[in-house]
Structure 1
Amino acid sequence: MLQLPKVIGHRGAAAYAPENTLESFREARYRGATWVEIDVKLTADGVPIVMHDPSLERTMGVDRLVAETRAADLPKAVPTFEAAIDCFRELGLGCNVEIKPCEGREAETARVAVETLRRRWPAALPAPLLSSFKDASLRAARDAAPEFARAVLIDALEDDWGKRAAAVAAVGVNTNGKKLTALRAVEIRKAGYLLSVYTINDGDVAKALAGMGVQCVITDAPDVIVAALI
């Protein structure tokens, strides 16, 4: 069974450094995280990069869609997925890889991401966890690389959460910690799934969620949550 840490840095340490950058991953490690969560999507020429939004505008100040931008034309601060993996090797960081496809590229993004992991993921690091809001991406990941553990990402858990998790052979559920109820947390844990929540930056809230059975807290401020939980 996959072993997750109690704390994962959200997009690195997004409270302290630009999200999804090598700087942010280093900051997360400095602040006590042993894992980070990142977003992977594809450029126009099919290169997997670490970026959350469909556009480069919010994080990089460039009004251009990722899906219409070649890797060579990206701002230098945007890391390729391979560069991120190399950074994780250097820092000894595990990773929750969120497959964050541009519209219409759900299966393609998953296949490229797992192929990259097969080639580049260091054997010395814990095996990564794949997650996605897109069930089509998780199905493609399951079919292409069943050896990588998967978690369904669901913002607000409905009664069909178990059906969705089973359909992609998930081992975990990642959900919005601000919307999680104690009843649902108990249901997930009793069903045998790992339970992670995002994005919690308050130590007292993290402790309350841990008391409900949450095993892993994804946070912008890993030092704050590490201090509260460990």
Structure 2
Amino acid sequence: MPERMGNMRKVYAHRGASGYAFENTLKAFEKAVGIGADGIETDLQLTKDGVPVIIHDADLYRVTGLRKFITELTLDEMRALKIGRNRWKRMFGKPAMTFAEFLEWARAAGSPSLNIELKETFLDQPDAVEQAVMAAKGYPDLHFSSFHYPLLMQVKQTDPGRETALILTKKSRWDNLGVYGSSDGFHIHKRLWSGKYLGAIEREHKFARVYGVDGTEPFIPKPEPFIRGWITDFPDTVKKAMQKGS
């Protein structure tokens, strides 16, 4: 079991290789593939007209400069906005990608593993969750994650075989993680790397992935056997750190 899990351990580029290019952009995704990431983590939000778009924040100000929420704009209105750092987006920014466009790119790029995080705008939108899950049908290695457990329940209702992962926080039910039966595994921030939290996951006989790592963490070379992967802004650095344990 430990050896098999070790072989499965993958490095996911957080919002693309966001340590090198602006998050959730084509440039960040291409950079991730170029530097050898095994997979890509990205985020889905819904527009006013129900189109899933690759963007992290529901509040668009940080990435577009517009003081609007994504649920206030149609896809066409989103298309008029450029994503990027405030100072440079007018020259180098591009519109946010739709989920369909992202999947098309990923397939053309060799089908890297994908971690799709369903964000808060999907809450109370079961049809949109179902459509996102169906859009991912046939992709060889894709799982859905979320801070919102009801969304993962909806994923499982649509496609029982689709892998899911609940993003845990200190407020999660650590005394009984078994209540999250629709979650195949868990994602945790590296701040939760301790015997208390790791032990709770191990008792459920489920896997975990760890985000927020940058390659300097002492546990990366030889993590617990149930750790299935890392989610990082710097996938190349984390991959080098992993090799120290081999």
Partner SS, residue 7 of structure 1: strand
1:224 to 227, 233, 237: 237
Q: Is the 8 Å Cα contact of residues 174 and 200 (structure 2) preserved in structure 1? A: no
Q: Under a length normalisation based on structure 1, what TM-score does the superposition of the two structures give?
A: 0.87
In structure 2, the residue matched to 1:71 is 75
Distance 2:95 2:224 in 1: 38
Q: Is there any run of 5+ residues in structure 2 with no aligned partner, and where?
A: 82-93
1:142 to 156, 159, 163: 156
Partner SS, residue 163 of structure 1: helix
Shift of 1:106: 5.0
One-letter amino acid of the counterpart of residue 191, structure 1: E
Q: Is the 8 Å Cα contact of residues 39 and 50 (structure 1) preserved in structure 2? A: yes
One-letter amino acid of the counterpart of residue 178, structure 2: K
CA distance 1:104–1:197, shift in 2 (3 Å): same
Q: Is the 8 Å Cα contact of residues 122 and 151 (structure 2) preserved in structure 1? A: no
Identity %: 26
What is the root-mean-square deviation of aligned Cα atoms in Å?
2.4
Shift of 1:227: 0.9
Q: Is there any run of 5+ residues in structure 1 with no aligned partner, and where?
A: none
Distance 2:176 2:131 in 1: 26
Count of matched residue pairs: 223
User: Radius of gyration: which is bigger?
Assistant: 2
Q: Is the 8 Å Cα contact of residues 56 and 62 (structure 1) preserved in structure 2? A: yes
Partner SS, residue 101 of structure 2: helix
User: Within 5 Å, which residues of 2 pair with 1:1-230?
Assistant: 4-74=8-78, 75=81, 76-92=94-110, 93-102=112-121, 104-105=123-124, 107-118=126-137, 121-122=138-139, 126-156=140-170, 157-160=172-175, 162-166=177-181, 168=182, 170-207=183-220, 210-211=223-224, 213-230=226-243
Q: Under a length normalisation based on structure 2, what TM-score does the superposition of the two structures give?
A: 0.81
Partner SS, residue 102 of structure 1: helix
